Structure 1
Amino acid sequence: MNRSRSVTYFLAAGSAGLAFLMVKYPTVAVNASLQGLQLWWDKVFPALFPFFVLSELMIGFGVVTFAGVLMEPIMRPIFKVPGIGGFVFMMGLVSGFPAGARMTARLYEEKKLTKIEAERLSSFTNFSNPLFLFSVTAIGFFHQAVLGFVFALAHYIGNIGVGLIMRCYKPGKDKAADERLHHSVFSKALRSMHQERLKRYQPFGKALGDAVTSSVGILLTIGGFIALFSMINQLMIQIGVSALLAKTFGFLLGIAGFKPDLGTAAVPGIFELTIGVRQIGGWPAPLIERVVLASALLGFCGFSIQAQAVSILSQAGLSAKPFLIGRLFHAFFSGAAALFLYGFLHIDEKLKNETALAFSPRSDVLSGSASALGPWVTVSVLLIFIMILLKRTIGSPHQK
């Protein structure tokens, strides 16, 4: 806990100032919150819910333990985390934010990670969803499917770079690897998975219900953060803070050789990632500059997503400093990787030679179909969530 008086004064002034702005600009605040909630309702909830439930079930069935035993020889020497961190890395990569933080916190609470290992792991398992990188960013915002490979590779390389840097976090305090490799690591992993499932055994219906309720609880919190930071972004525009940040950011971009007015497009992404990446995608600037800046923003991931992960880590008693430092490194590494990959993959030549990508229209159709189904998925899951809670509430008196 930070006991500094200045922090207390800053937090008090910030919350009071935000409340004042909400009263002064009520229409802006309400509309921005509704836009954030619509984004959560249509896209975020349907995209993350299946992965959250699946991760909960995989923990209960011992799959996490299985992966941990298999990946111990890789994760320990490279990133100084147990092999189980490899499972978190892959689940974060597939699921998107804030699944990495969620899985890390859960494994720390299960005592499968030490505090230092969990904080270190949280710094480099924060990924954007692959569907967001390819379908939304590359096709939806930049209208070039081939850029999906640049965004994805730069994003993943950036996080690996963060992991290599953060392996130095609190050196000398690591738990020694106390397991020697057996002649058959795979057999050992299978035995460990079976033992873990027996230790956690509960009926499948109960396990599934717990996974649903736990996942929906986390997603409701995420929805609140998205609505909050969507509102903050619009209020900052009203009072001119965003314009000031745009000038400062534009000055730094000009020093780097980029068009200074790109700062205006990127600033909203500091608060809410999707808004910023969308504006950068349509901004009148050289494509390579927009790709590099969007990649850096995807690594930084915006205050909204950072707040979601910090909330999850804090509830588990973990420090958020490694995670926040990791976002700065991730932004730098991803931007640098995108700059290299853009030239290495000869993106300009490919775009000139390909007047139209054959699968782009189909991708747009699939993306549109997924968006149309999103609200129905959200409604269905919330109804199931309410039914599970009602059943447990009504049934609990009879169990006493």
Structure 2
Amino acid sequence: MRRSNFMLYAGALIIFSLALLMLAFPAEALQASLKGISIWWDVLFPSLFPFFVISEMMLGIGLVHFFGTLLDPLMRPLFRIPGIGGFVMAMGFASGYPIGARLTSQLWEKRLVNREEGERLVAFTTSSDPIFLIGAVSVGFFQNPAIAGLLAAAHYGSAMLIGLLMRFHGKPAAGNDVQAPATATHVGSIWRRAFEEMHAARLADGRPLGVMLQKALASAVHLVMLLGGLVVFFSVVMEVLTSAGIMAYVYAAINSVLGLFGVPLVLSKAVVNGFFEVTLGSKAAGTADGIPLVYKAAIAAWVLSWAGLSVHAQIVSLLHHTNLRYLPFAFARFIHGLLAAVLVFVLWKPLAPYQEALGAFMPKPDVARPLTTMITHTLPAGALTFAALIGTMLLLSLLFWAGKRCMNRLRT
């Protein structure tokens, strides 16, 4: 009871202090709000809204259950997650945060994953989408399309490592409290079982396509507005704290940490901004002058993987009605950021010959054009990444399944 009272009073004090700072710096708060709205309109809305709608439709139609059955032989031995998590991973990597958390909460509502499985799933499927990584960060902020491959390899590669590490999270349950689809038989080929699972899920949903689309659009609009509000809020918080001189002490603390690892101190602004909001942190890293590119890329990889408290708040808002805990997610984000930054230094020389070749196929930066045009140029990357991930996982899953069948026959 004392702890709850302390948290209540501390939260009230923080909110009251922020209100006073906004009254003391109204012009700065207004400018920060406009900046947050611009980020939401130019980046988040066009990149997230279609995926929110599509993911809701695919869940109702049963396609998620279809891919889940096909990917089950791969996801369970590697990540201790049901095969349906493979679809969440592909959607999370292709569409970015917070799609993975949104789909995981839906799976939890339908009792397709339990708490430990959901926490493992959210931990490594919360990642940047390739459109933002390539269009906004590499082309827009860094004005260097050649580093897109390096950032992608460090970011998504470390995400997969987090998935392998998180398989040790949680003790093996004595009984499975997840509701397995009981209407589909478990005999015959894996493809037949996949179609049976999809058909069973569609019958269980039962909504006409028109009603399903209407509900998906309404839910997507609600979520996008919620995410936009969080981005604006954190933009205002950072600006008023900077205007009040509080952030100067935070910069000093970050400088002491960066100095231990030989990272240029001028990147402390990118670290602090990225701690709160991923877009602002990525922009600060990309626009820093007089800094070796490898350090800027490492900080950008850290920012993309940590994802900022703004994304953390989005994840919490999406999971508040579930029993999934925040601390495993926060720990995974911290480790993900460190691994991504380290991978940038590890892969810098091996990938150097390919960076220029990749840059030749990427759109040339034009800083006079808004981020929406950059997203338009790189839109096929998201669809290509999604298709490649699904195809690769299906192939690996079939190989796992075939190997398991062969081992069973040899034993008999």
Q: TM-score scaled by structure 2?
A: 0.84
Decide which of 277, 288, 294 is 1:288's aligned counterpart: 294
Check conservation: 2:42, 2:372, Cα contact below 8 A. no
Check conservation: 2:273, 2:281, Cα contact below 8 A. yes
Alignment partner, residue 384 of structure 1? none
Cα gap change, 1:75 to 1:205, in 2 (>3 Å): same
RMSD value, Cα: 2.6
Alignment partner, residue 191 of structure 2? 186
Q: Distance in 1 between matches of 2:375 and 2:72?
A: 39
Alignment partner, residue 38 of structure 1? 38
Alignment partner, residue 124 of structure 1? 124
Alignment partner, residue 373 of structure 2? 369
1:360 aligns with 2:363: yes
1:254 aligns with 2:254: no
Alignment partner, residue 390 of structure 1? none
Per mean C-alpha deviation after superposition, the further-off stretch among 228-237 and 113-122 is 113-122
Listed one character per residue, the Cα deviations across residues 298-340 of structure 1 (whole Å, up to 9, x for unaligned) are 1001111111111111133422121111110110111111111
Check conservation: 1:138, 1:147, Cα contact below 8 A. yes
Alignment partner, residue 218 of structure 2? 213
SS of aligned partner of 1:360: coil
Return the structure number with greater relative CO, CA threshold 8 A, min gap 6. 2
In the alignment, structure 2 segments of 5+ residues that lack a partner are 378-412
Cα gap change, 1:53 to 1:77, in 2 (>3 Å): same
Q: Distance in 1 between matches of 2:303 and 2:200?
A: 43
Cα gap change, 1:224 to 1:73, in 2 (>3 Å): same
Alignment partner, residue 247 of structure 2? 242
| Structure 1 residue 116: Cα displacement | 1.9
Q: Distance in 2 between matches of 1:308 and 1:287?
A: 31
Alignment partner, residue 380 of structure 1? none
Check conservation: 1:118, 1:318, Cα contact below 8 A. yes
Q: Distance in 2 between matches of 1:268 and 1:115?
A: 32
Matching of residues 135-154 of structure 1 within 5 Å: 135-154=135-154
Q: Distance in 1 between matches of 2:85 and 2:2?
A: 28
Check conservation: 2:186, 2:193, Cα contact below 8 A. no
Q: Distance in 1 between matches of 2:205 and 2:366?
A: 41
Per mean C-alpha deviation after superposition, the further-off stretch among 98-107 and 242-251 is 242-251
Matching of residues 55-70 of structure 1 within 5 Å: 55-70=55-70
Decide which of 227, 231, 252 is 2:232's aligned counterpart: 227
1:331 aligns with 2:374: no
1:310 aligns with 2:313: no
| Number of aligned residues | 370
Matching of residues 271-286 of structure 1 within 5 Å: 271-283=276-288, 284-286=290-292
Give me the identity figure in percent.
34
| Structure 1 residue 369: Cα displacement | 3.0
Check conservation: 2:274, 2:308, Cα contact below 8 A. yes
Cα gap change, 1:11 to 1:134, in 2 (>3 Å): same
Alignment partner, residue 16 of structure 1? 16
Check conservation: 1:114, 1:175, Cα contact below 8 A. no
Per mean C-alpha deviation after superposition, the further-off stretch among 239-248 and 154-163 is 239-248
Check conservation: 1:80, 1:117, Cα contact below 8 A. yes
